[in-house]
Structure formats: C-alpha cells, structure tokens
C-alpha cells in the first residue's frame, strides 16, 4: 500500500513502475512501439505477439502519460506537468519526439504529389494571412473579466465548463492535481464551482470525499484502487441549464485479480440537477483486464453529453492495445451501457479512439444526437474522426493530412451557416510546416453538412495557426450566437500563442456562407492580467451567465492555475442615413448669403436620420456624431474645400451628441456651397460618422455592461450630391480635346539664351470640358518664362508646379465649352541645356476632370514639340605688329647695313557661345621677294601655346605646285602662282605679301585644339629684316607695306548634333603690315653769312615802324562808336537790333 502511494506521488515515479530496473530503456521503448506496428502488419501469430509484451508495457507508460496529459500540451515551453521517462522530462518532450520525429521520417516518404499539395496549402495560407486585416476587439468584454485563481500547482483551469442550476450560474473548473482532503490520496484532483461575478469565489464540488477502498483478503486489508494522481477534473462537461455534470479521472487505477496488478482504467462521476448525490462509474472495471483488453482503457479522457443530458459518451483511448473504445451511457441509469465499440483490427492499435468527442445531429433522427469521436493517430498517423450513431455504428469519417498533426485531438459541433444542420470543426494542434520550421503552429478544419446529411468535400474551410509552436486548435468550443446575428460562432484556443507564448484565443463568426476566416476578436493572455500562461488550453462557451441575452465565455490557463470568465456586450446595430436637398447643386443660384454678405453660394440642407436595433438594449442611446462636408472618403480631405456649414466661419466639420431611439428620428442641418469653386464636376459628399457615447450610458445604466456597435455595420454613412451643369439629362459631359502647336522656333544654338516659343492650340470638339488643363513638360535646362498672345473665351493662366519645376500647368477653362478653341504662346529660356541633347523636346498633354467618351479620343490629347539643337561657332582674328614703321636713310650707308627685328602677332578668339573642337590657323609670311632674296627671315619657330604645334613650310618654285592646293586655296589673300594682288586703293605705298613674291613664301599652319567660349589662342612670329637686299630690289618707291596674311577656319565642334551645318562654320582673315620708308638726302652746301642776316632783320623792323606812323596820321585808329551797345540778330533773312546780350 505504502509503496503504491509513494510511487503515485509523481508521474515520473509511476512511469518507473512500468519500466522496472532499466530492463528496456525509455528511448528504446519509443522505437519498440513503432517496431510493434510492423509486427502486426506482417501477421505474426498470437504467440509471437505475446513476445512483444515487454515492449507493450513500456510503450504503455509513454502512451498512458501522453493520453492523459498531451491534451494539456505538456508545457512544451516549460509549462506542462512533469511526466516523462526515468529522467522525468516534461510531457511535451515526448510529444515532440513522438510526433515530429515520426513526422519528419514520414514526410520524406510522401509522394511528390502530396508534398506539392501541402506546399500549395501553406502558400495559400500565407497569402490569406497577409491579406487578412488585423482583428479588432468586438463584443467579448475584457474590462469586466473575472479571474479565478486556484491552488498552486493544481493545474486549476485544465478543464472548464459552464453550468446553470436552478437559476444559479456557476463556472466549473477542473484542477486535476489538486491536493484534496481524502485520506491517503496524493493530488487526486478536484472540480471547483465558482461564481461569475466575483473573482476567487470558488468551492470544491464534493464528487468523492473517501480515500482508497480496500477489501479483506485472507485476513489482511488490501487496497483495490489508487486515487492518487488520478487527475479528477481533467475532463469536465455540463449539458447546460438544469442539466447534468460529468467529471472524470482518467488516471484512476484499479487493482484487479490478485490485487497486485495496476490497471489505469479511469473513472467518472455524474451529478444531476439540484442533488448533492454524485454517482460514480468506471466502464472498464467490468470488462476484461490487462492492457491487451480493457485494463488500461483510461476511461474519461473525453466525455460528451447530449443536449438534454440523457446520453453520455465516454472515451477510453487505452482499450485494445490503445485502439480506443467508446461507451454510450443512459445518464438516468449509469449502470446501463447502451452500446460500446468492440475491439478492432490489429492495424488499429495505438490510434487512440475516444481522445476527443462531441455530440451533434447527423442522421436526421432527432430523438438522440450522434457522436463525433477523435482518433488522433488513426489514418496512418495523420489522424481521423468518425461519426457514430447511438448503436455505435460508424456513419461517416474524415481524415487528416499530415502525420503527427494530432488531427482529431479537439472537436466541436457548431451550426456555423445557420441552416439548421450541424457542422464539424476539427483541430490539429501539432500541424506544422517542417521545411519552414513552423512547428506546432496548428490548423483547424471546418466541414459543412448539407441538407442530405452529407459533408461537402469541396467545401472545407481551413484556419491556420498564426505562429510557430502556438498549438492553434488544441481547444475548440461552440460560442453560441455571441453577436446575435443569427449564426453560431466558434472559439479556437492556442495555449502557447502570442509573441510571448503565454496563450491566446481566437473568435470567429459564422455566416450563411460559412465561417468568416478572419477572426473578429483575438484575446491574448497579456490583455487580461499578468501571470496568465497556457491561456486557451480549455474553453467553454454558449451560455448566458449574466442574463443579458448574450452567451458568455470561460477560458482556462492551467499553467498559471487560473481561469477567466468573460461577459459578452450587447450589440447595437445602428441604422443611419443621410440625404441632402436640393438633389443637384446649381452654382449660379446664390440663395445663401452668409456672414453678412462675406460669402455667397447655393444652400444645401442635410437631413440625418438614426435608429437602432438589438437585444438586451435600453429604450434610447446616445451617439457622438461627426458631420464632414465635401469629404473624399472617411480619411482623406480634398485639395479644395467647397462646402461649409452656415453656423460658423469656414466650418466644414461639426460634432454633436445625439439621443437616438429604436424608431428612426431625423434632424436637418444647413450648409452652403461656395459659388467660385474650381472643381465644378466632382459631386459633393457629406460624411456622417458616429460612435456610442459610453459616458452617458454608464451614468444612466448604473454600471451595466456597456453595449458595443456591430462590427459588421460601418460606423459611417455618406450622401453624394451632384453639381448641376450643361451636360444634358444624364449630367455627364464627354469632352474631346485636341492639342497641337504652330510657330515653333526653328532651332536652338547651344549656349545661347535666346527665347524659345511656340503657339499651343487646344480644341474641344464635343461637350463641356471641366477643369481643363494643358500640362507642359519642359526639357532639361529650360525654364518657363510667360505666356503671350492668348486667345480664348476665358482667361488663360499658366504656372510651374511647386513639386516639379519641369512641369508647367495651364488652366484654359472651367468649363471649356464644347466646340471652342483656345490658343496661346508659351515662352521659355534655355539656361543650362545638356551638351548631349540633340533636340529640345516639349511634351504637351491636355486633359480635364471629366473623361472622354472613347479611349481613342485620347490619342490627340498628346503632342510633342521638338526644337533641334545646333552649334554655330564664331571666331575673331586680330593682328599686332612691332615696329609699325621702318625708316631707311640711304645716305647713311652705315645705318642702312643694320638688320632690323620685325614681329607680327595674331590672336584668335572664340567669341561664340559654343565650344570649338578644332581650328586651323594659317599665316602666309613674305619671307622672300619675287627674286627669292631674303626679305623677312624667320627668327626661330613661331611662339604659340604649349599644347599647340605649328608647321612651317618654305614655298619655292620647285614645290609651289605641291603646296598650292593645300595651303592657300581658302585664303582670301588672292595668292596664286601666276598673278599678283594689286595695291589697295588709297594706300600710299606698295604692298608686299605672298602674292607679290610669287613662288616664294613661308606658310605657317597651326592645328588648334579645344577652345571653350571666350578663350583665345596667340601666335607670335619674329623675323629679321635685311635692308640692303631690300633696297637693291626696291628703289623706285618711297614707301612699302610688307604684309603677312592670317586666316582661320573652324573644322569641328564637340557636339554630335544632327542639325550642325559645317558649311556655316566661320572663316576669318586679317593681315599685319609693317611700313618701310626709303629717304634719299642731297649733300649740304655753304651757309649764309651772319651779318647778312642781321642787316635784313634791321631793315624789316624800320619799315614796319614807318607804316604804323602813316596810318595813325591818316586817322585810321579814330573810329565813330554808337551810344548804346547791342547786337544784331538775323532771322529768316531779316536783321534786328537786340538790346540784350542774352538771346533766348
């Protein structure tokens, strides 16, 4: 007795009893169990099968523990009860090892088609999750949640149920490891009943107060049962109001035969309405003992009650080598087993039939419901469910899709479509995507029953767990019609869901099309209270506990020894409407004169109506209402505000708290529309938003649970009023715009800033065009200036967009009447055009607020203006000489022999706006005279820029033909072999240049590279003038002009423009002249004597004195004068005396 008690104190010790002394290891037992299945499939005899008994007993220890606790999730994250091998690891480790080692092994063996199918399902699931909008809170109230906390480490909340007994509302909460007061019973477990309106108001339901029973065997007391660790409260069910309660202890142990063989047969208790008597029964105790029969059946792992509470199904997944077994009871006589399932075929071993169960109507016989039973390891370990009639015959089945997903470990029956036919919901909490490491995310399947009592194969909805390891679908519960929309709803538990892995529940609404796959509400453990964990391990819904006509919800969180009761808020369905008058706004009618004439426009009356419906609601409610005028939608404001309320200056939003009744009531608000709006085509929308005023409700209701607006009904409504126009009865105008250009600037010379202009012509060949615009996209480097010469029925205005300086927008009519034309000249300036632009392209697009009738009508709304870009180089050439004059005194023979230095300098300038790539400068230098005698001999190479080289060629009669065409054919000097250029008119001397010297000349040619605008190139030519050879051949003339001639021509520019015309490249000429004077002086004679000069001067002076005396004697110096001084002025041929010296 004491030995058994000690061993039962901890689940790990219990396992050690089944695996004594290390005969077979824990790990080997798992593989042995799998090998055992292979033995059965090969058809071994019963004798050979008995050889596997050791394996079977060790396998049982694992299976027995899992069957009793796997439903709890085993605390896969350190939360579950310890129940493992000799090392006492948590059950979740066994679950993970068993299911996912097996899963990985078998997934590899799946056919390619199956794998692709699974991948497609996962892909579709991911897309659906991404497209699903985030859930918002609906009518399960969190603020009023009541948290019940049980004894520590009792697993309080492992199983939950709601119960109503004679108008007294209770929540039933199982605590399978609670330490009771039963003598010599360690942690036998219990069920608590708690109030719904106050926390921790719980008391133990006294199903069993006795200790272990014993018998007298040959004079000694021998215990025949073991209640320690029996897990009473791991299964709790209620048939509802004034119904039956069942609570089970699936780990209850009975000592059979000689009282030394432990057999975990399980046990259940039954409580009926308003009684304190609790009936106990154990279906396998009457059956055949031993694990290969019913000795290890673990009855009570699941239980299901009919709606009226007269039928009870008990699941015993350990019978017949863990095939599982079902027992159908009449609750009026629990000793009467109506029916039960027999032993199946060997291949059904280890499938766990009865792991989960539920009741529903599936055969059309309304007298009693049928049972849906989970077999999580059936179907080759993919899991399955079967539907059983009252006589335990199978009338239907479904299979899972993934090995180890534990499909069928949770079941619920709900009429989601409201058609009166029960639908089946199946959980597969260990479903995962192995390749993406999304382990144990979970999946839920929904099967819909038809009127023919069949299930639609093509209509199976799937709900996927939101995150890895959440075990979504481990608990399922019918919610009833929680939002009162006529369809029952569903709650799914994910006890390790959420970012913190503390658990979450997901609420889904039904509809006539089936379940709405996006959750309407998600509640996480952290949303309720700190310390909750494994929240969602158990769920009970469907009963109205607070009498507000809405079903409430109970959720267990066993890992934290807590359970939470939620109340459901009444749902308000508001019917709101809005309408405006007049039905069309006439902008020409200014019947609203607001703010003392400050603003005018047509009036707009807004009529708003409200009403509401719903269950459990007061006779009136208050709404906070917001009206918004000219709303594009419920979040976006228009660019131009066109409508305003008349009760304020520029007020377009108004708020008010309105009292509404169930019957519809209305009120009118006045507004107006501005008459000078830009957008005359778009209708004006009035938006009305509303929400419940909870403060007034609380003040009037005295703290009752606040109602909530129906999430299915939008919290806003709107009405749109059109603006009256000249578009006919349909109020729709279809324009037909056409845009083109004339008078385009022919070309643009790069680098210049000369004006670019062209005339834009827009025609509307159909009905009125509203808010008509021409959009002009400028080419890079071009800026908009202005428009001129506009001709249009309405003024035209243009301007650059602030967001895009390259875009110019021109308003040409609002409206632009049909069959009218507008034209204007647009002026722009190129400021920084790109050297690579071959042309400047202006893109034109004409559009309006109203669309054109046909798609092809838009073909002529576009136009492209192309102005070719060209380059016209301009150069200048200037000369400078030193010295300008040379005077030769031929009488001084010594001076004449001296050689003189002569310098001619030329400067080439790029005076245009474009760069020049290459220029040739040519200088014809008169180095010799016609006879070949040296005239101006070069004094070294010409001086030029360092990056330019010049070539010097001497022309003689021997090579003149060679150079004739090459050097001077483009020169304007007129040089040729046979002729000479005559002396220019007006010159005072004879010109000597290369044309004068005939076949003798020096040609200097320079190839000049890149020249940017305003840059210069200088060349300096120094020479020696020799007078003697010059005088020898030039004696007949006093002055000579020795001339060098320079010419320059642009060869190329650094632009690859198609419009560049090389024939227009500049050619310039200039010359430099040094003038030579020859002076032939005669020899000097004898000079005049000095006395002769003095005598002549004296005689001249005497003669002047005699002449002055003679004139004085004659009175020449005595003239008659007028008395008054004045002046004469001659005007038009007539003289007149002027008495003033100032003439105006």
d(CA 318, CA 92) in angstroms, rounded, equals 20
CA angle 416, 419, 421 (to 5 degrees): 75
Q: Which CATH number fits domain 875-1079: 2.60.40.1530, 3.40.50.720, 3.30.750.24, 3.40.50.460?
A: 2.60.40.1530
d(CA 215, CA 231) in angstroms, rounded, equals 24
Q: Which long-range contacts (CB under 8 A, 24 or more apart) does 325-330 make?
A: 325/284, 325/294, 325/297, 325/353, 325/354, 326/353, 326/354, 326/357, 326/371, 326/373, 326/388, 326/392, 327/283, 327/299, 328/371, 328/390, 328/392, 329/281, 329/283
* Look-up of token digits 């003689």: 956
CA dihedral of 526, 532, 537, 539, whole degrees rounded to 10: -70
- pLDDT at position 290 is 64
Which two tokens mark 862? 């576009």
150 neighbors 202 (Cβ within 8 angstroms): yes
CATH of domain 571-723: 2.60.40.1460
Which two tokens mark 573? 């369905």
150-354 fold: Methylamine Dehydrogenase; Chain H (2.130.10)
964 neighbors 979 (Cβ within 8 angstroms): no
Q: Going by C-beta distance under 8 Å and a sequence separation of 6 or more, which residues neighbour residue 779?
A: 833, 837, 840, 841, 842
1027: left (phi over 0), alpha (psi -120 to 50) or beta: alpha
Which two tokens mark 67? 């069957």
* Structural domain spans, the chain: 2-109, 150-354, 571-723, 737-870, 875-1079
978: left (phi over 0), alpha (psi -120 to 50) or beta: alpha
β 423-428/443-449 pair status: antiparallel
β 875-882/756-764 pair status: unpaired
Three-class SS state of 749: strand
- pLDDT at position 523 is 97
Q: Going by C-beta distance under 8 Å and a sequence separation of 6 or more, which residues neighbour residue 929?
A: 935, 992, 996, 997, 1000, 1029, 1030, 1033, 1034
Question: What value does the mean pLDDT of the chain take?
Answer: 80
564 neighbors 199 (Cβ within 8 angstroms): no
pLDDT < 50: residue spans in the chain: 1-136, 634, 967-987, 1081-1082, 1084, 1122-1144
Distance of CA 290 to the CA centre of its chain: 65
Which two tokens mark 154? 């009792």
d(CA 265, CA 296) in angstroms, rounded, equals 5
Helix (H) or strand (E) holding 843: strand 839-847
Strands of the 443-449 sheet, one edge to the other:
410-414, 423-428, 443-449, 455-464
d(CA 312, CA 241) in angstroms, rounded, equals 16
Q: Kindly report the CATH class assigned to 737-870.
A: mainly beta
- pLDDT at position 1086 is 55
Q: Is the peptide bond before 123 cis (omega within 30 degrees of 0)?
A: no
153 neighbors 11 (Cβ within 8 angstroms): no
- pLDDT at position 1037 is 62
- pLDDT at position 976 is 36
227 neighbors 214 (Cβ within 8 angstroms): no
- pLDDT at position 937 is 86
SS3 letters across 568-604: ECCEEEEEEEEEEECCEECCCCCCEEECCCCEEECEE
266 neighbors 282 (Cβ within 8 angstroms): yes
**Is the C-alpha dihedral spanning 1098, 1100, 1103, 1108 positive or negative?**
negative
Strands of the 325-330 sheet, one edge to the other:
302-305, 311-316, 325-330, 333-340
- Tally of CB atoms within 10 A around 257: 10
Give the DSSP per-residue string, 387-425: EE-TTS-EEEEEE-SSTTS-TTSEEEEE--SSSS--EEE
CA dist 892 to 879, 902, 1034, 1039, 1077, Å? Answer: 32, 21, 17, 18, 14
Give the DSSP per-residue string, 31-97: HHHHHHHHHHHTT--HHHHHTTHHHHHHHHHHHHHHHHHGGGGGGTTS-SPB--STT--BHHHHHHI
Between the two ends of the chain, the Cα-to-Cα distance in Å is 154
**Is the C-alpha dihedral spanning 38, 39, 44, 45 positive or negative?**
negative
Q: What is the DSSP letter of 347?
A: G
d(CA 310, CA 267) in angstroms, rounded, equals 19
For residue 585, list its beta bridge partners: 723
Query: Residue 967: what are its φ and ψ, rounded to 5°?
Result: -105, -40
Q: Going by C-beta distance under 8 Å and a sequence separation of 6 or more, which residues neighbour residue 497?
A: 465, 466, 467, 470, 471, 472, 503, 504, 524, 536
- Tally of CB atoms within 10 A around 1123: 4
**Is the C-alpha dihedral spanning 888, 889, 890, 892 positive or negative?**
negative
Give the DSSP per-residue string, 776-790: EEPPTTEEEEEEEEE
* Look-up of token digits 């999946």: 443
601 neighbors 592 (Cβ within 8 angstroms): yes
- pLDDT at position 334 is 67
875-1079 has the same fold as 150-354: no
CA dihedral of 444, 315, 279, 217, whole degrees rounded to 10: -140
């Amino acid at each position: 007795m004491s030995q058994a008690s000690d061993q039962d104190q901890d689940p790990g010790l219990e396992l050690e009893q089944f695996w004594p002394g290390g005969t077979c290891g824990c790990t080997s037992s798992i593989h042995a169990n799998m090998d055992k299945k292979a033995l059965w499939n090969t058809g071994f005899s019963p004798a050979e099968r008995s050889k596997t008994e050791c394996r079977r007993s060790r396998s049982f220890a694992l299976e027995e523990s899992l069957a009793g606790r796997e439903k709890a999730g085993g605390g896969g994250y350190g939360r579950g009860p310890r129940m493992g091998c000799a090392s006492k690891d948590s059950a979740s480790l066994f679950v993970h090892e068993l299911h996912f080692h097996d899963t990985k092994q078998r997934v590899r063996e799946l056919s390619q088609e199956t794998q692709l199918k699974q991948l497609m399902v996962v892909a579709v699931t991911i897309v659906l999750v991404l497209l699903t909008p985030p859930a918002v809170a609906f009518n399960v109230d969190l603020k009023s949640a009541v948290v019940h906390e049980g004894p520590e480490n009792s697993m309080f909340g492992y199983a939950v149920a709601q119960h109503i007994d004679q108008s007294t509302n209770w929540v039933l909460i199982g605590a399978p490891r609670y330490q009771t007061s039963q003598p010599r019973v360690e942690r036998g477990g219990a069920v608590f009943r708690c109030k719904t309106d106050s926390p921790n108001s719980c008391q133990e339901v006294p199903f069993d107060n006795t200790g272990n029973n014993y018998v007298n065997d040959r004079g000694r007391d021998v215990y025949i049962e073991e209640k320690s660790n029996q897990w009473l409260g791991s299964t709790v069910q209620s048939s509802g109001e004034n119904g039956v309660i069942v609570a089970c202890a699936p780990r209850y142990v009975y000592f059979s035969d000689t009282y030394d063989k432990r057999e975990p047969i399980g046990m259940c208790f039954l409580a009926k309405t308003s009684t304190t008597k609790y009936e106990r029964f154990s279906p396998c105790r009457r059956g055949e003992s031993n694990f290969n029969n019913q000795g290890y059946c673990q009855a009570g792992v699941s239980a299901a009650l009919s709606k009226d509470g007269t039928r009870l199904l008990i699941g015993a997944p350990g019978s017949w080598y863990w095939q599982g077994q079902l027992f159908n009871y009449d609750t009026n006589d629990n000793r009467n087993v109506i029916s039960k399932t027999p032993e199946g075929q060997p291949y059904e071993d280890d499938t766990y039939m009865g792991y989960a169960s539920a009741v529903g109507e599936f055969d059309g016989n309304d007298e009693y419901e049928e049972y849906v039973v989970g077999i999580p390891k059936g179907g080759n370990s993919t899991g399955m469910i079967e539907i059983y009639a009252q006589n335990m015959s199978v009338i239907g089945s479904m299979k899972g899709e993934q090995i180890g997903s534990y499909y069928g470990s949770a079941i619920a029956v709900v009429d989601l479509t409201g058609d009166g036919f029960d639908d089946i919901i199946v959980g597969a909490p260990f479903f995962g995507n192995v390749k993406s490491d999304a382990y144990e995310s979970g999946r839920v399947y929904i099967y819909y029953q038809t009127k023919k009592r069949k299930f639609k194969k093509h209509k199976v909805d799937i709900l996927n767990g939101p995150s890895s390891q959440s075990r979504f679908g481990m608990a399922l519960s019918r919610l009833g019609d929680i939002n009162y929309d006529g369809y029952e709803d569903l709650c799914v538990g994910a006890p390790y869901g959420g970012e913190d892995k503390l658990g979450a529940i997901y609420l889904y609404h039904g509809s006539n099309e089936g379940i709405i796959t996006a959750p309407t509400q998600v509640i996480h453990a952290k949303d309720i209270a700190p310390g909750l964990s494994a929240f969602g391990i158990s769920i009970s819904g469907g009963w109205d506990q607070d009498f507000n006509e809405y079903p409430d919800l109970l959720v267990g969180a066993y890992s934290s020894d807590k359970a939470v009761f939620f109340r459901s808020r009444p749902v308000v369905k508001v019917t709101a409407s809005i309408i405006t008058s007049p039905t069309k706004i006439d902008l020409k009618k200014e019947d609203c004169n607001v703010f003392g004439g400050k603003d005018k426009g047509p009036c707009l009356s807004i009529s708003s109506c409200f009403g509401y419906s719903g269950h459990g609601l007061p006779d009136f409610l208050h709404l906070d209402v917001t009206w918004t005028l000219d709303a594009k939608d419920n979040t976006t404001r228009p660019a131009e505000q066109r409508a305003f309320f008349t009760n304020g200056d520029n007020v377009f939003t108004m708020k008010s708290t309105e009292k509404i009744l169930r019957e519809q009531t209305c009120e009118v608000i006045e507004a107006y529309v501005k008459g000078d709006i830009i957008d005359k085509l778009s209708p004006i929308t009035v938006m009305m938003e509303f929400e419940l005023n909870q403060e007034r409700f609380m003040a009037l209701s005295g703290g009752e649970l606040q109602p909530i607006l129906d999430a299915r009904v939008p919290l806003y409504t709107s009405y749109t009023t059109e603006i009256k126009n000249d578009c006919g009865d349909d109020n729709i105008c279809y324009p037909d715009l056409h845009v083109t250009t004339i008078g385009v600037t022919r070309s643009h010379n790069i680098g210049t800033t000369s004006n670019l202009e062209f005339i834009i012509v827009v025609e509307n060949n159909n009905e009125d065009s509203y808010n008509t615009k021409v959009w002009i996209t400028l080419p890079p480097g071009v800026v908009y200036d202005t428009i001129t010469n506009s001709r249009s029925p309405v003024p035209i205005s243009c301007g650059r967009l602030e967001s895009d300086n390259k875009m110019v927008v021109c308003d040409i009519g609002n409206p632009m009447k049909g069959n009218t034309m507008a034209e204007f000249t647009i002026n722009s300036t190129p400021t920084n055009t790109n050297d690579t632009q071959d042309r400047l392209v202006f893109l034109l697009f004409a559009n309006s607020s109203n669309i054109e009738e046909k798609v092809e009508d838009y073909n002529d709304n576009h136009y492209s203006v192309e102005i070719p870009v060209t380059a016209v180089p301009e150069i200048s050439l200037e000369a400078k000489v030193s010295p300008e004059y040379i005077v030769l005194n031929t009488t001084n023979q010594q001076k004449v022999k001296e050689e003189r230095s002569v310098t001619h300098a030329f400067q080439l300038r790029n005076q245009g706006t474009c760069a020049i790539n290459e220029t040739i400068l040519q200088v014809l230098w008169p180095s010799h005279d016609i006879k070949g005698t040296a005239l101006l001999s070069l004094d070294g190479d010409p001086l030029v820029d360092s990056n330019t080289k010049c070539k010097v060629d001497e022309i003689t009669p021997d090579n003149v033909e060679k150079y004739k065409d090459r050097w001077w054919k483009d020169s304007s000097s007129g040089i040729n072999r046979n002729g000479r250029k005559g002396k220019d008119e007006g010159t005072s001397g004879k010109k000597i240049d290369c044309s004068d010297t005939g076949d003798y000349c020096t040609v200097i040619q320079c190839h000049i590279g890149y020249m940017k605008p305003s840059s210069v190139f200088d060349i300096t030519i120094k020479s020696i003038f020799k007078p003697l050879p010059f005088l020898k051949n030039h004696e007949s003339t006093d002055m000579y002009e020795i001339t060098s001639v320079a010419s320059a021509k642009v060869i190329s520019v650094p632009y690859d423009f198609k419009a560049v015309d090389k024939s227009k490249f500049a050619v310039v000429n200039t010359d430099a002249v040094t003038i030579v004077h020859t002076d032939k002086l005669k020899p000097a004679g004898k000079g005049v004597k000095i006395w002769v000069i003095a005598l002549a001067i004296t005689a001249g002076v005497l003669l002047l004195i005699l002449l002055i005396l003679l004139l004085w004697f004659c009175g020449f110096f005595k003239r008659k004068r007028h008395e008054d001084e004045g002046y004469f002025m001659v005007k038009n041929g007539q003289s007149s005396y002027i008495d003033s010296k100032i003439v105006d």
